[in-house]
Amino acid sequence: MKANRQDFLNFICQTSPSPIGLEIERAAGSYLYTTDGKRYLDFISGIGVANVGHSHPKVVAALCTQAKQYLHVMVYGEYRLKPQIALAKKLVSLLPSPLNQVYFTNSGTEANEGALKLAKKYSGRKHLIAFDGSFHGDTQGACSVTGREIYRKPFEPLLPNVSFLPFNKIEALDAIDDSVAAVITEAIQGEGGIRVPDDDFLPALRARCNAVGALLIFDEVQTGFGRTGRHFALEHWGVVPDLITFAKSMGGGMPLGAFVGRRELMASLSTDPPLSHVTTFGGHPVSCAAALAALEILLDEGLAAQAEKKGQQIRERLRHLAQRHKGILEIRGKGLMIGMELDSAKRTQALVEDVLKDGLILGWTLHSDRVIRIMPPLNLSEEELEEGLHCIEKAWA
Ligand code: PLP
């Protein structure tokens, strides 16, 4: 039976006044198939989720196998669950030392909540620092460190003792002092408009945090798992945070997030009092089985290297397009996390609507409605890449 559009509007809480409302029949690889017989090339990966493509057969097989064994059996951290342990071990093997212990969550927001709570508990300090233009999620804690006032204002009062600094301004880092429990930042701002910091910014941030004893949290919810042309974006700068958070593509399409830190730091969560941060469903065995399969695909298919190469190809083509059209101001990004900045929000919206008619899904970033986000699955084929680029070029013809 088809899902009626009016029922969708009546019974599903809307998050925007004009939802796309495509009715999905199935999804596979880089495409979504709708009930009206159309096919859409997904150039945003369900917003950074489908790094290995939609419904990858190995992910689906892994989650079915796990579902037949057991689903949920006990709140997080009490029983030994093989899918969690295998995934944590594999993830840690890919992360730089000393990021060696994992706490699984259901989402990116919860991963950031956990990391922020842990930083306050471990350090005994109260002050948190975040950056203008950041996005860290929508619970009250994560929202408190999200760097755009219009998204905080309606929900105030939020967390006290949060300060915002300009992103990518080394001079501003002096404001981080010994009252600071933690600084949270994305390595590359996603919702802020695909903003890549200068090469010296994150090393300078690390040095400042070391100097004042503040913990550094990298939010790699959007940048992780091959998206930027490395397994994790931190590899571009060789900077190791105290805590790193993940979600989105981590679960291969299933809900899963995590925060990871050194054992001595993570140990704060099990004492004074014990059970001070728990979750019922975080690290669901089925999600972990799917995530392990997705991670193996990432490694076996060399998806980070593929993202690096295809990202260069796309940026080059779009820069040629920008030379011919004044409305395109800049093409930026790393790997397959690409931003195309246009000269007006009107033009951005028109482009997104135009290409949708041609079967291509694009979108803009939350804090920057002049920046088109291009984040296709990392394993899209040459033909699919060509199809997407052709569609964008056609919209400018
Ligand atoms: N952090 C970043 C950088 C994100 O881009 C997002 C979501 O877009 C989040 C956190 C929140 O993640 P979730 O929607 O899984 O709670």
* Sequential pLDDT tens for the chain (397 residues): 577 899 999 999 999 998 999 999 999 999 999 999 999 999 999 999 999 999 999 999 999 999 999 999 999 999 999 999 999 999 999 999 999 999 999 999 999 999 999 999 999 999 999 999 999 999 999 999 999 999 999 999 999 999 999 999 999 999 999 999 999 999 999 999 999 999 999 999 999 999 999 999 999 999 999 999 999 999 999 999 999 999 999 999 999 999 999 999 999 999 999 999 999 999 999 999 999 999 999 999 999 999 999 999 999 999 999 999 999 999 999 999 999 999 999 999 999 999 999 999 999 999 999 999 999 999 999 999 999 999 999 999 8
What is the pTM assigned to this prediction?
Answer: 0.98
Question: 282 CB under 6 A from ligand 1?
Answer: no
CATH number of the structural domain 58-300:
3.40.640.10
In sequence order, what are the residues at sequence separation of 6 or more whose Cβ sits closer than 8 angstroms to the Cβ of residue 145? 112, 116, 128, 130, 134, 136, 159, 162, 184
Could you give the CA distance from residue 285 to residue 295 in angstroms, rounded to a whole number?
Answer: 15
Question: Which atom of ligand 1 is least distant from the CA of 134?
Answer: 3
Question: Which atom of ligand 1 is least distant from the CA of 112?
Answer: 10
Atom 1, ligand 1: residue with shortest CA distance: 136
Best probe residue, ligand 1, of 105, 110, 116, 136 (max atoms within 8 Å of C-beta): 136
Question: 185 CB under 6 A from ligand 1?
Answer: no
Task: Determine the distance separating the centroid of ligand 1 and the alpha carbon of 362, expressed in angstroms.
Answer: 18
Could you give the CA distance from residue 289 to residue 275 in angstroms, rounded to a whole number?
Answer: 25
Question: Which atom of ligand 1 is least distant from the CA of 223?
Answer: 3
Task: Determine the distance separating the centroid of ligand 1 and the alpha carbon of 137, expressed in angstroms.
Answer: 5
Could you give the CA distance from residue 96 to residue 234 in angstroms, rounded to a whole number?
Answer: 9
Atom 5, ligand 1: residue with shortest CA distance: 222
**345: how many CB neighbours lie within 10 A of its CB?**
13
126-144 in b/e form (b: 16+ CB < 10 A) is: ebbbbbbbbbbbeeebbbb
Three-point CA angle 230, 87, 311, nearest 5°: 20
